[in-house]
Chains A and B, each alone.
Chain A
Amino acid sequence: MSVFSAENDLERAIQAGDPDSVCRLALALGEREREALRPRLRLLHKRLEVRRWSPSDAELLRWWGQPVTTSQAAALQAGIYLCGNLKDVHAAHVRDDLLLPLAKAHRPAWVAELAEESVAWQFGTWQAFHLAGLCPRPQGEAYLLRLMASARWRKDLDATLAADPGLYDGTLLRLLEIEGNADTSLAGVDKYSGSKLGTWTEFFLEQMQTGRIARSDVLDRLLAALECDWPQFRSGWHSRLHGLMQPSVEEMAARCARYRGLCHSRIPPTVTLALEALGQLQQAGVLPAAELLPALRAASATAVKSHWELLLRLLTEAVRQAPDQAAAAAQVALQGLVLEAPPLQKKLLLFIKAHGDVELRAGLADYLALIAPSNQALLQSLLPQPAAPTAPVALALPPARPPLSPLAPERRLTPIADLDELLERAAYLLENEQDCDELERVIEAMTRLAPQVQEQAARFKPLLKRAAKLKKALARDFGQFLVLALGGAALPSPNSWDYHCHTHSGHHLLVQRLAELAAWVRSGIACAPLAVATHRGGFIDPAVLLQRQLDWPAALPEPSEREQRSALQRLAPGPHPTVLAQLQALPPTAFRLAFAAALQQPPTAPRPYQWRFTSETWQHGEQSGVHHRAFIEPEPKGAPNQLAWLALHQPGAYFGEGYREHQTEGMVFYAASLQPAHLEDVLAEGARRLSNNLDWWEAQWPNRAFLQLLLNPCTPMTPMALHCLAFGLAGKEPGQTAVAVDALLQATLQGRLQPKAIGTLLGTLLNGPMLKPARLAKALAAAKRLDPLGPRLVLEVLQALVAALESAPKDLGSLLELLHETGLELQAPLPTPALERLTTLACVGRAKALQKQLLG
């Protein structure tokens, strides 16, 4: 790059950093002469642009001779404005303070276009342009949005309006017509600017009060905006302003058709507004029932209970005013029977009873299955020909059964047949790290087929290429295993500590295991590793383990202590007398003795510790919250169990809390497969995580894996499993709740779970601050719909729940309603423990009414 040399006076003025001279010189030239200078100026700008991100760029300094000064940049921008076109000015990012004097001196044809395009980030400048008469007011939405955003500082808006009264000529009203975007909308500005700084709502109310803006104009635009069905957050602002304006009956009567049209809206606040307005018009006698009812029919599509309260009021009044419209009104009321709200259904049925004709009553038969059991008698009384009563089907829940044996034939992992299948499954595993059973199959095949693997190592090349690109914990580790097994160099090590500098001991276990396995494969000697699972979920058949130990090739070093311990931790529970006898007949070694001891331990032997769950309230200044934690009792003195020890001292360390690449569903499943017969440690961590994220304040998708463990027919429903289930049912995230509902149902149908156990736990937890009854009721209602045995299950859960309550939590009504309706459906009286407990509860509101009904 040579050194810059100015070719004309203009460039010399730029180099001197003198914008005034640049102006003077450029304006003295004719248009063609200025245009001729343009290419050089563009090039100059392109070269000097480097200074924006690298002011001390060596090449730039050499070429320009000195650091580019602010005045030099300004002089160049002035030159570009005067000699360039719209595109050049955009590219040059001409400073705001330069633009106005430049435009006053020289006004090219594209100034208005520039204003339109750049107003979004140079609002003040272009407002000044407009006031100086240099360009017309920009008409685009960007200008309006910028104006909208200016109300974040009300004083700025007042100053803008004082300087530019022309804004009152329609521009301000246009603000009501645009939806806005994620950054700027009337609702957003008002919500986030705070009342101290002034809101657009206050502004419009003030302007209407002072008469600067006509009420009728605002009203028309509000209704037009509401007709667009914008998202609720944005359209809610318009309905609120409408409410604050309190339009008179005359104003509303003139817009009656629009209010009727708004009944079709899918935005609940808009429907509320429309119904309230129609109610006022009806009261004033300006809206005949015949015109009102079609609108109410449109609003009857609503699923909002409060809308139905309003609708019923309007329907009642319509019938009072025009008795000949009674049947049509009853027809509207019929639509509400779909709502799952027994008290509302009752009101609607009574309305239909009073006003429905025979034809309508006959049609009620279609609703039989949708009406709550508590309203069935009333519905039957309305039918011209009562339907035959349906006796509850006497379905009983399955009796308690132990979980399915992990060694059941259908749970056996089928060994991979040959190298072709191995290649394909290994490729699959690299992309599907959550499939831990497949990991075991592939590892088993890699070691068993080690000679062929080494012989045909070239066929693994595509997999090795892919392995280097993977990031998720398990997939990456498996990729590393492949590389090492085929004689490659280790991939760069991932971080193995979290933000708190906790090391991932659990992850290290996996890495160590894979490194040892890779060494065996690399040796090219076929072997069967002790700790590779034989059955799904990580279980090992003791007979197979014994055979593996006996068949271990002498040419290979003995499996490490870690491998031996892992194998024993994965043993399937249950008496295995034949294996034990074989084992005891062999010469004793340390491993065989430990193996025999493991086999002799009864499956239900008590653990040396128990998990407990508590909640602690914390307070920092004005903020407070509840934190939930699981802990071991009694605290072990040593480390009887590595997982438990980790969970106790470094909550989440096993799963890599803080280090997101380790927070995967795969890692949860892998952790569960390490001691598959004792999932309590893993599930305790699950309960801790689920309970601390009940309101889904943070998206923690891998937590779903803890609930998926409960779907496994081999998983016993231990205390921590029940805790996971309870928190899953009461969580906010619908996907997580759906898994928990399925787990509840499946565990019950398989006889692994007794409803009383989960009901009692839910009742106990409801005594604390964790669970919200309404959310729980929703999850249980979903379980009820899912299976013919659902109602019986829900009933028994709720009966146990009520019996475990110490006091009535807020919003207990939703659960009591479900209990009441399910009890009626199954014609099952409340059992004594629940009855006695319910008598002692101090309920209020809807819960109190239901309590009375339940107590009979």
Chain B
Amino acid sequence: MTAALAQSYHYLYASALAPAAAGSQLALASSSAGLHPHFFSGQFLQPRLVAELLSTVHRTVAARFYTPANTLAKAIAAADPIVTAGGGLLRFEGFSGCGSTHVRVDLLPAAYAGEFVGNGCTNVDFNAPMRAALSRVREDEALFCEVGRSELALRSAGGEVVEKKVPLPTRWLRGLLEVQAYQARMRCQLEASGLQALRFFRSLPKASTSRTPLWIAAGPQGLSLGATPRPGAVRCVDVQRLRLLEPLLARAQALRLYADEAQQASAWELEFGSTRITLTLSAETWRGFSGEGQALRALIRADDEAALAALRAQLRWQAQLDATALAVQLQLTPERVNSALQRLANSGLVGFDLHAGSYFHRELPLQRDWIADFHPRLQAARELLAQQAVRLQGALAEVRSGETLYTLRRLAGSWRCTCPWFAKHQGERGPCKHVLAAEALEEQGENAT
């Protein structure tokens, strides 16, 4: 059974789109740990596009591309999207109910005329009436927006308080954190113009392809779809998830496809000039991102508290965290900075911007104690180390787990295990607990010498 943590949302009013003097006013209610911060007040310069982008975020959080058989009858409440204001950017983030699809909309400074009252990260209320109203936004009408309200406005405005309690499964929370680890490993593999992207999306199968991995590659007439891997191709399972982007394609200037080396996830970025949307898809819809464990290695080496603390002190809602510059500034090696950034990402303190190729500061509005020690494999590996269950013998290692003795062998610089987890995934979903413990012990030995 999946454990769930109850996330409470408390909004002083419901987000709404209301007619204003010279157009419409989008009031987004904020909620973060009992506070109702006020971040932004201004006007969007491409109202229709922003309305569609926000609708896409709403549709993503409400989507569920995979329903486990045992939860078929259970209604899964959608978690509210997250907005980050910092470095002159407004970023709206959402995660599908099944934990297989992550969406982020970046509104760059050219997308708005307004001011940032404050920087920070908070949940915002997205509701069905607001989304219905967004569908009526027209390009030639002004769209004003405020994220949160000033205290004065809060006092003068009435409105019904909105309270929601959403049980967030731990796998969902883990997935939300794991997405950053994947994004940080991705590289841009394919690029297409807006027109080519539109043509490609229209050629995608209408039915679900959740059982057959498809490979997207550059073909003679733009992007093409095949069933076998080709050089430079990007793997994608269940292209249904891409339908979320369909309403935006007519306006897109470019499409960029990112993928990690092991083809375990892909990210689809649509560029609109002053705005961007990035849809990150897990390798399989049933897998989500929670069981991936890409950051486990960084987490188990969590002994560099000095680097972590130094880096944390530098977080000031920057839109980009330049690892090289930070390394120079903090007099640390780039590896230590990168490792610390990975750990911060796994704690929900930074996100990753694929377009910029760098992390950015954003603190997920989740309870800190939820985020700590989320990974069962990490905990199990630590237990193995504590029990001194790992024995290294050159290119071999033995790990005793309960009454079972697993044999590990080193091949091409990495450990391979005989446990069912490793046998099934071959290390593509992160190391198993045995490999993790062996690596940690090996590193401890190296450090000691």
Question: In the complex, what's the smallest C-beta–C-beta distance from A261 to chain B, in angstroms?
Answer: 4
A607 interface residue (CB < 8 Å to B): no
Which chain B residues lie closer than 8 Å to A366 at the CB level?
A: 193, 195
A137 interface residue (CB < 8 Å to B): no
Which chain B residues lie closer than 8 Å to A407 at the CB level?
A: none
Question: In the complex, what's the smallest C-beta–C-beta distance from B142 to chain A, in angstroms?
Answer: 14
Binary interface profile of A, 409-429, with partner B (CB < 8 Å = 1, else 0)?
000000000001101101111
Which chain B residues lie closer than 8 Å to A428 at the CB level?
A: 423, 426
Other-chain contact of A424, B138, B228, B409 (Cβ < 8 Å) = B409
Question: Are B423 and A227 in contact (CB-based, < 8 A)?
Answer: no
For this complex, 13 residue pairs linking A to B, each with C-beta atoms less than 8 Å apart, are A229-B59, A260-B136, A265-B135, A297-B139, A340-B202, A423-B418, A430-B423, A459-B407, A461-B404, A701-B211, A735-B209, A738-B205, A746-B228
- Chain B residue nearest in CB terms to A418: B409
B247 interface residue (CB < 8 Å to A): yes
A472 interface residue (CB < 8 Å to B): no
Which chain A residues lie closer than 8 Å to B424 at the CB level?
A: 431-432
B221 interface residue (CB < 8 Å to A): yes
B34 interface residue (CB < 8 Å to A): no
Question: Are A462 and B406 in contact (CB-based, < 8 A)?
Answer: yes
List of 9 A-B pairs having minimum Cβ-Cβ separation, nearest first: A735-B212, A734-B205, A261-B136, A738-B227, A227-B132, A431-B424, A427-B423, A301-B250, A427-B418
Which chain A residues lie closer than 8 Å to B138 at the CB level?
A: 260-261, 294
Question: In the complex, what's the smallest C-beta–C-beta distance from B263 to chain A, in angstroms?
Answer: 16
Which chain A residues lie closer than 8 Å to B199 at the CB level?
A: 338, 340, 370
Which chain A residues lie closer than 8 Å to B420 at the CB level?
A: 427, 430-431, 466
A154 interface residue (CB < 8 Å to B): no
Which chain A residues lie closer than 8 Å to B209 at the CB level?
A: 734-735, 738
B91 interface residue (CB < 8 Å to A): no
Residues of chain A in range 105-137 having any CB-CB distance to chain B below 8 Å: none
Which chain A residues lie closer than 8 Å to B75 at the CB level?
A: 181
Residues of chain A in range 263-316 having any CB-CB distance to chain B below 8 Å: 264-266, 294, 297-298, 300-301, 303
B231 interface residue (CB < 8 Å to A): no
How distant is the Cα of A736 from the Cα of B224 in the complex, in angstroms?
A: 16
**Interface-forming stretch among A155-163, A191-199, A784-792?**
A784-792
Which chain A residues lie closer than 8 Å to B212 at the CB level?
A: 704, 734-736, 738-739
How distant is the Cα of A733 from the Cα of B227 in the complex, in angstroms?
A: 13
Residues of chain A in range 179-232 having any CB-CB distance to chain B below 8 Å: 181, 224, 227-229
Question: Are B140 and A294 in contact (CB-based, < 8 A)?
Answer: yes
Question: Are A462 and B211 in contact (CB-based, < 8 A)?
Answer: no
Which chain A residues lie closer than 8 Å to B140 at the CB level?
A: 294
How distant is the Cα of A366 from the Cα of B195 in the complex, in angstroms?
A: 8
A848 interface residue (CB < 8 Å to B): no
A816 interface residue (CB < 8 Å to B): no
Question: In the complex, what's the smallest C-beta–C-beta distance from B153 to chain A, in angstroms?
Answer: 27
Question: In the complex, what's the smallest C-beta–C-beta distance from A729 to chain B, in angstroms?
Answer: 12
Which chain B residues lie closer than 8 Å to A742 at the CB level?
A: 226-228
Question: In the complex, what's the smallest C-beta–C-beta distance from A563 to chain B, in angstroms?
Answer: 28
Question: In the complex, what's the smallest C-beta–C-beta distance from A239 to chain B, in angstroms?
Answer: 15
How distant is the Cα of A739 from the Cα of B219 in the complex, in angstroms?
A: 17
Which B residues fall within an 8 A CB radius of A? 48, 52, 59, 75, 128, 131-133, 135-140, 193, 195, 198-199, 202-203, 205-207, 209, 211-212, 214, 219-222, 224-228, 246-247, 249-250, 396, 404-407, 409, 416-420, 422-424, 426
Which chain B residues lie closer than 8 Å to A369 at the CB level?
A: 221-222
Which chain A residues lie closer than 8 Å to B426 at the CB level?
A: 428
How distant is the Cα of A733 from the Cα of B136 in the complex, in angstroms?
A: 37
A367 interface residue (CB < 8 Å to B): yes
How distant is the Cα of A350 from the Cα of B405 in the complex, in angstroms?
A: 76
Question: Are B135 and A785 in contact (CB-based, < 8 A)?
Answer: no
Question: In the complex, what's the smallest C-beta–C-beta distance from B292 to chain A, in angstroms?
Answer: 18
Question: In the complex, what's the smallest C-beta–C-beta distance from A537 to chain B, in angstroms?
Answer: 16
How distant is the Cα of A856 from the Cα of B262 in the complex, in angstroms?
A: 52
How distant is the Cα of A17 from the Cα of B214 in the complex, in angstroms?
A: 67
- Chain B residue nearest in CB terms to A470: B420
Which chain B residues lie closer than 8 Å to A431 at the CB level?
A: 420, 423-424
Which chain B residues lie closer than 8 Å to A423 at the CB level?
A: 407, 418
A465 interface residue (CB < 8 Å to B): yes
A338 with B407: in contact, given A227-B135, A739-B212 (CB under 8 Å)?
A: no
How distant is the Cα of A228 from the Cα of B422 in the complex, in angstroms?
A: 45
Which chain A residues lie closer than 8 Å to B407 at the CB level?
A: 420, 423-424, 459
A257 interface residue (CB < 8 Å to B): yes
Question: In the complex, what's the smallest C-beta–C-beta distance from A482 to chain B, in angstroms?
Answer: 12
How distant is the Cα of A294 from the Cα of B137 in the complex, in angstroms?
A: 11
Other-chain contact of A711, B202, B228, B249, B396 (Cβ < 8 Å) = B228
- Chain A residue nearest in CB terms to B136: A261
Question: Are B225 and A782 in contact (CB-based, < 8 A)?
Answer: yes
- Chain B residue nearest in CB terms to A699: B211
Binary interface profile of A, 222-253, with partner B (CB < 8 Å = 1, else 0)?
00100111000000000000000000000000
Which chain B residues lie closer than 8 Å to A736 at the CB level?
A: 212
How distant is the Cα of A423 from the Cα of B48 in the complex, in angstroms?
A: 60
* A466-B420, A734-B212 known, 13 other contacts, Cβ within 8 Å: A261-B137, A266-B246, A301-B247, A366-B193, A370-B195, A420-B407, A427-B423, A430-B420, A734-B207, A735-B212, A736-B212, A738-B209, A788-B220
Question: Are B250 and A300 in contact (CB-based, < 8 A)?
Answer: yes
Other-chain contact of B198, A338, A426, A711 (Cβ < 8 Å) = A338
Question: Are A264 and B404 in contact (CB-based, < 8 A)?
Answer: no
- Chain A residue nearest in CB terms to B248: A301
Which chain B residues lie closer than 8 Å to A260 at the CB level?
A: 136, 138
Question: Are B405 and A462 in contact (CB-based, < 8 A)?
Answer: yes
How distant is the Cα of A786 from the Cα of B225 in the complex, in angstroms?
A: 7
Residues of chain A in range 728-763 having any CB-CB distance to chain B below 8 Å: 732-739, 741-742, 746
Which chain B residues lie closer than 8 Å to A734 at the CB level?
A: 205-207, 209, 212
Question: In the complex, what's the smallest C-beta–C-beta distance from B18 to chain A, in angstroms?
Answer: 14
Which chain A residues lie closer than 8 Å to B52 at the CB level?
A: 264
* Of B48, B52, B59, B138, most A-chain CB atoms within 10 Å: B138
Which chain B residues lie closer than 8 Å to A229 at the CB level?
A: 59, 131-132, 135
A335 interface residue (CB < 8 Å to B): yes
How distant is the Cα of A693 from the Cα of B218 in the complex, in angstroms?
A: 32
A785 with B219: in contact, given A266-B246, A462-B418 (CB under 8 Å)?
A: yes
* Of B139, B219, B418, most A-chain CB atoms within 10 Å: B418
- Chain A residue nearest in CB terms to B421: A431
A327 interface residue (CB < 8 Å to B): no
Binary interface profile of A, 766-803, with partner B (CB < 8 Å = 1, else 0)?
00000000000000011011111010000000000000
Question: Are B136 and A462 in contact (CB-based, < 8 A)?
Answer: no
Question: In the complex, what's the smallest C-beta–C-beta distance from B393 to chain A, in angstroms?
Answer: 11
Question: Are B226 and A738 in contact (CB-based, < 8 A)?
Answer: yes
Question: Are B423 and A741 in contact (CB-based, < 8 A)?
Answer: no
Question: Are B221 and A301 in contact (CB-based, < 8 A)?
Answer: no
Question: In the complex, what's the smallest C-beta–C-beta distance from B165 to chain A, in angstroms?
Answer: 16
How distant is the Cα of A789 from the Cα of B205 in the complex, in angstroms?
A: 22
Which chain B residues lie closer than 8 Å to A294 at the CB level?
A: 138-140
Residues of chain A in range 450-498 having any CB-CB distance to chain B below 8 Å: 458-459, 461-463, 465-466
Question: Are A335 and B250 in contact (CB-based, < 8 A)?
Answer: yes
How distant is the Cα of A356 from the Cα of B404 in the complex, in angstroms?
A: 76
Which chain B residues lie closer than 8 Å to A790 at the CB level?
A: 219-220
- Chain B residue nearest in CB terms to A789: B220
A258 interface residue (CB < 8 Å to B): yes
Question: Are B247 and A264 in contact (CB-based, < 8 A)?
Answer: yes
Other-chain contact of A257, B136, B198, B225, B422 (Cβ < 8 Å) = B136
- Chain A residue nearest in CB terms to B72: A182
How distant is the Cα of A227 from the Cα of B426 in the complex, in angstroms?
A: 47
Question: In the complex, what's the smallest C-beta–C-beta distance from B404 to chain A, in angstroms?
Answer: 5
How distant is the Cα of A223 from the Cα of B226 in the complex, in angstroms?
A: 41
A383 interface residue (CB < 8 Å to B): no
Question: Are A738 and B225 in contact (CB-based, < 8 A)?
Answer: yes
A850 interface residue (CB < 8 Å to B): no
How distant is the Cα of A298 from the Cα of B135 in the complex, in angstroms?
A: 10
How distant is the Cα of A752 from the Cα of B407 in the complex, in angstroms?
A: 45
- Chain B residue nearest in CB terms to A290: B140
Which chain A residues lie closer than 8 Å to B417 at the CB level?
A: 424, 427
